[in-house]
Chain A
Amino acid sequence: MKLWAYNILQAALLIGLSPLAAAVLRKLKALLQNRRGPGPLQTYRDLVKLFNKEPVLPDRASWIFRLAPYVVFAVTALSAAIVPVILVHTPLSAVADVITLVGLLAMARFFTALAAMDLGTAFGGMGASREMTFAALAEPAMLMSVFILSLAAQSTNLSTVTDTMLNADLGLRPSLAFALTAMALVAIAETGRIPVDNPATHLELTMVHEAMVLEYSGRYLALIEWANQIKLMLFATLLINLFVPWGIAMEATAVNMAFAASAWLLKLLALFVALTLMETWMAKMRIFRVPEYLGLAFLLAILGMLTHFILEVVI
């Protein structure tokens, strides 16, 4: 029972801190560009403001348009609850393994795209079409790269995988390098960062995700924005805890957990600094190049799988 409480606590931590993470990312980027940028609490203020505002719905919106933000948020929050953040072994990670995690994110995307198609605007259709196209390439790459880890850990359960990465003597495994690269590429695409999509853009013909949620306002928009921030945090945590899990708590003692939490935050910060540097340094890709980029991720994952079978399976 205690473990359940810890699990919910760590999920709440992830969900609660995700606006902060987004704000930190924005701040870091501003600093690199010699701007002051908004403070770290700005995203919270934005969310509160949006939740309190009167939502404006397009007059032709159907029930799917109204339902979608709730589904997106609930499903994203659930996937946040199954990822090990501070504790390795949590009860909820048995509810959904890593394949289900990918499925849950697909569910959120499915409903976002449907909501975008709901109004019959050109922008909505465009965003939905692009998002689903890219997802169709990103999702298998993501699955393949986590499968490499699953093959190493002989499990698709996220807790077990993290445990294996932390404790088992895996030696030097080239396939893991492939998996990490592929998953990082996918994570950038899935969270809509540069060079795939620009989260700060509106009204550009190259936008993908923003085009889908243009018509949302008020609490609906707040839910979608928040879900996006959770998704960013989720992918960052996934990368950290699957590939560099050192410091994460095996047992639920206060000292361990405090240490794990601080290690997690530090690693997140390092990852965000890297991401900011990359976003500042790179230009956004042409939209026709994105499939190639994702194809590369897919291929790297397949190569990782092949190297796993050729080099690492002991015959």
Chain B
Amino acid sequence: MNNALLLLSGPALALSASAATPLFARDRRVQIWALCSLLALSGVATAVSGMAGLLSPPKTAVLPLGLPRMPMHLRLDALAGFFQVVIGFSVVSAAVYSVGYLRPMAKDRSLTPLGVFLSLFVLGMQGVTLANDAYTFMVFWELMSVTSYFLVVFEHENEANRKAGFLYLLMAHLGGLLILGGFAVLYAAERSFEFDVMRAAELSPLWASMAFLLAGFGFGMKAGVVPLHAWLPEAHPVAPSNASALMSGVMIKVAIFGFLRVVWDLVGLEQGAWWWGGVVLAAGSSSSVSGILLALQQHDLKRLLAYSSVENIGIIVIGLGLAMIFSHFEYQDLAALGIVASLYHTLNHSLFKGLLFMGAGAVLHGAHNRDMEQMGGLIRRMPYTAALFLVGCVSISALPPFNGFVSEWLTFQAALMAPKLTGTILSALIPFSAAMLALAGALAATCFVKVFGVVFQGTPRSRSAAESHEVDRWMLSGMAIPALLCVLLGVFPVWVIRLIDAVPIALIQTSLGGLIAEGGWLWLTPIAPERASYSPLIVMAVSLSAGFAAFFMYRRGRPVRRAPIWSCGHPNLNPRMQYTATSFSQPLRHIFSNIYRPLEKSLRVDHGHILQVKQVRYSVHVQDLAWNYLYAPVRQFTAWATQAVDWLHARRIHGHLALIFATLLILMSLLV
């Protein structure tokens, strides 16, 4: 009974939130309070049960729901626990944020659909992590997909939202189908949907690889691994910001969870082929670099953040790939390091991406725009949002002593152990992915200098930016929670890793704990102290001393004179002379023009002479190559196939009957 309470309180609270929303629809203020407080409680409950999952042995429960003779099996183990913690933190901060975020929205539209679907979406994610049979897993997985579709099309009056939603729905279902195929392979081995049976099942190498590929593509589609990412930058930006914080922060991590559950846990790496890790590593490397390259060229703030999620998923997947390779070659301790690095980044990304999406929502709220070219100077009107957003930017750029750096550092440490693998091409491939990771990290810093510099600094580029206003306390506290956690996770990694360590113990029966703890809580020593160590607290102390020095000089130092800006003596500066988002990324557009294939349009109007310019207009559009070379051909093929089917449909009724009859005959012949 206790188990059931622990497992179910989070989902039950989410369900009650979805039920409460329509009940209180009459008074929207009460409705917001009911929704947000229930969601926050659900988040807390999820985090608590997640902690219990990490710290104590697995707990199971069976719910007499669902199909006859097929009750829902639930299980809370370390893997589920970790992802429950991820979900819990994000849901709590998003719920607090929503109090402030929904209020102005309530003025002109009904919040009931948003509330219902948001809560059910949270329920879906919680359910997926708890599922212990394929049926439960798929039910909650589809619940998560469908409700998030409704969140994407919440502002359905815009055509772009409807299009993005359709694309999302299409790809989510394609992914769902592939995952179902993966489960079908596992089902075929022992004829049971229960994970406990699947776990014990033996698969032939061919079928194991089949399950790996089906699950890999299915979950990869949801996670947004390049080239299956096309829906992500369309769908995440158009959802309301609290929902996109959860989608980008948590939902794509649930796909990582699914991959771990199916490939690592159910199929089992010991049944894996040597190339699995290589494929995963390659997918991760390509995602990380192409994701951030495309992010750099966006000027829609939320779209940029969505592309950056593709990059971060790439980093997570690199860690997984490394772990899979090491595990296949029997270096279980290194595999544990890889998985810990990957999970650490999962947690980190859920925090700072949630923070950044909420920050984008705050900017949207304060400046009524998503286009970075229209912003600027918001740091003066929205100082607190700016400071919190800066924490997110520094963290995501993997700068010490913040949390993003810790996980990238761990990934590098794992990659540097490549020489242990001898006599395989993979050992020479790993440095390539380390190089890609390094490139992605450096580009991410460039990208977020651009974001912060263009949005918050400089001078306002439009009236709406000049008249922006700070958001309320609820939104700020919603952002402050992940910001604080970003700092803490950056400074005290050893404690966090001790918690995460339960996951590799559960998955590959190897602990990293002894090695991590060797230097005490102050020192992060993943392999051995003489090999590598990192003490973020000291780095943090030095950085803080800079802050104190600045503050001290501000108070006590020689007085500062304020004067008009110099700018090399350039008179009459105006906001249009600033570097814009487009111009900031121009050098990189030039360098990587083979990848971007930018479509540039420029227009010059002059007064009869080339030097008397009247008007110059420049626009550039950067393409996502995946669209041109993957999606467009697929679409063409689909159109062609539809036409072919259309030809069949044009038959008369007898023709149709004949087709059905023929199908029946073929199916019957297969049965024999």
| A–B touching in complex (CB under 8 Å) | yes
Residues of A contacting B585 in the complex (Cβ-Cβ under 8 angstroms): 129
Known: A103-B399, A135-B442, A215-B566. A120 touches B531 (CB 8 A): no
Contact, CB under 8 Å: B563 / A214: no
Q: Is A229 an interface residue (CB 8 A)?
A: no
Known: A59-B562, A59-B564, A96-B535. A129 touches B586 (CB 8 A): yes
Q: Is A37 an interface residue (CB 8 A)?
A: no
Q: Is B412 an interface residue (CB 8 A)?
A: yes
CA distance A135 to B439 in the complex (A): 10
Q: 0/1 per residue, A112-148, Cβ < 8 Å to B?
A: 0110111111111110111011011111100110010
Contact, CB under 8 Å: B566 / A99: no
Contact, CB under 8 Å: B573 / A315: no
Q: Is B453 an interface residue (CB 8 A)?
A: yes
Which of the residues B399, B416, B566 comes within 8 Å of A106, measured between beta carbons?
B399
Which of the residues B431, B535, B563, B578 comes within 8 Å of A122, measured between beta carbons?
B578
Contact, CB under 8 Å: B579 / A70: no
Q: 0/1 per residue, B402-429, Cβ < 8 Å to A?
A: 0001000100110010110011000110
Contact, CB under 8 Å: A160 / B531: yes
Instruction: List the A residue with the shortest CB-CB distance to B550.
Output: A70
Q: Which of A219, A288, A305 has the most CB atoms of chain B within a 10 A radius of its CB?
A: A305
Residues of A contacting B457 in the complex (Cβ-Cβ under 8 angstroms): 62, 64, 114, 117-120
Contact, CB under 8 Å: B535 / A157: no
Q: Is A97 an interface residue (CB 8 A)?
A: yes
User: What is the minimal beta-carbon distance from B190 to any residue of chain A, in angstroms?
Assistant: 41
User: What is the minimal beta-carbon distance from B303 to any residue of chain A, in angstroms?
Assistant: 20
Contact, CB under 8 Å: A313 / B427: yes
Q: Quick check: which of A14-22, A50-58, A234-242, A246-254 contacts chain B, the rest being far away?
A: A50-58
Which of the residues A54, A71, A73 comes within 8 Å of B559, measured between beta carbons?
A54
Q: Is B484 an interface residue (CB 8 A)?
A: no
Q: 0/1 per residue, B150-178, Cβ < 8 Å to A?
A: 00000000000000000000000000000
Q: Is A155 an interface residue (CB 8 A)?
A: yes
Residues of A contacting B617 in the complex (Cβ-Cβ under 8 angstroms): none
Instruction: List the B residue with the shortest CB-CB distance to A134.
Output: B587
Residues of B contacting A123 in the complex (Cβ-Cβ under 8 angstroms): 567-568
Which of the residues B376, B380, B530 comes within 8 Å of A157, measured between beta carbons?
B530
Contact, CB under 8 Å: A288 / B567: no
Q: Is A218 an interface residue (CB 8 A)?
A: yes
Q: Which of A132, A155, A315 has the most CB atoms of chain B within a 10 A radius of its CB?
A: A132
Contact, CB under 8 Å: A133 / B591: yes
Contact, CB under 8 Å: B565 / A125: no
User: What is the minimal beta-carbon distance from A83 to any residue of chain B, in angstroms?
Assistant: 15
Known: A66-B550, A157-B530. A113 touches B400 (CB 8 A): no
Q: Is B42 an interface residue (CB 8 A)?
A: no
Q: Is A291 an interface residue (CB 8 A)?
A: yes
User: What is the minimal beta-carbon distance from B225 to any residue of chain A, in angstroms?
Assistant: 21
User: What is the minimal beta-carbon distance from B600 to any residue of chain A, in angstroms?
Assistant: 16
CA distance A180 to B577 in the complex (A): 42
Known: A128-B453, A309-B427. A110 touches B397 (CB 8 A): yes
Contact, CB under 8 Å: B458 / A118: yes
Residues of A contacting B458 in the complex (Cβ-Cβ under 8 angstroms): 117-120, 125
Q: Is A78 an interface residue (CB 8 A)?
A: yes
Q: Is A1 an interface residue (CB 8 A)?
A: no
Task: Count residues on chain B whose CB falls below 8 Å from chain A CBs.
Answer: 85
User: What is the minimal beta-carbon distance from A10 to any residue of chain B, in angstroms?
Assistant: 17
Instruction: List the A residue with the shortest CB-CB distance to B591.
Output: A291
Residues of A contacting B567 in the complex (Cβ-Cβ under 8 angstroms): 119, 121-123, 214-215
Contact, CB under 8 Å: B529 / A110: no
Known: A75-B546, A121-B577. A100 touches B534 (CB 8 A): yes
Residues of A contacting B418 in the complex (Cβ-Cβ under 8 angstroms): 309
Contact, CB under 8 Å: A288 / B531: no
User: What is the minimal beta-carbon distance from B443 to any residue of chain A, in angstroms?
Assistant: 5
Which of the residues A66, A106, A122, A157 comes within 8 Å of B554, measured between beta carbons?
A66
Which of the residues B379, B399, B549, B566 comes within 8 Å of A110, measured between beta carbons?
B399
Contact, CB under 8 Å: A160 / B530: yes
Q: Is A95 an interface residue (CB 8 A)?
A: yes
Which of the residues A113, A139, A301 comes within 8 Å of B442, measured between beta carbons?
A139
Q: Is B553 an interface residue (CB 8 A)?
A: yes
Residues of B contacting A144 in the complex (Cβ-Cβ under 8 angstroms): 431, 434-435, 438
Q: Is A42 an interface residue (CB 8 A)?
A: no
Residues of A contacting B562 in the complex (Cβ-Cβ under 8 angstroms): 56-59
Contact, CB under 8 Å: A156 / B532: yes
Given contact pairs A291-B591, A313-B427, a sample of 6 additional A-B residue pairs in the complex whose CB atoms are under 8 Å apart: A56-B561, A64-B379, A73-B546, A74-B545, A140-B442, A309-B419
A-B contact pairs, 10 of them (CB 8 A): A54-B558, A54-B561, A56-B560, A62-B379, A96-B534, A99-B413, A126-B579, A130-B587, A139-B441, A155-B530
Ranked 10 nearest A-B pairs via Cβ: A125-B579, A117-B453, A120-B458, A74-B546, A140-B438, A139-B442, A132-B446, A70-B546, A58-B565, A133-B587
Residues of B within 8 A of A (CB): 376-377, 379-380, 390, 394, 397-400, 405, 409, 412-413, 416, 418-419, 422-423, 427-428, 431-432, 434-435, 438-439, 441-443, 445-446, 449-450, 452-454, 457-459, 523, 529-535, 538-539, 542-543, 545-547, 549-550, 553-554, 557-568, 570, 573, 575, 577-579, 583-588, 590-591
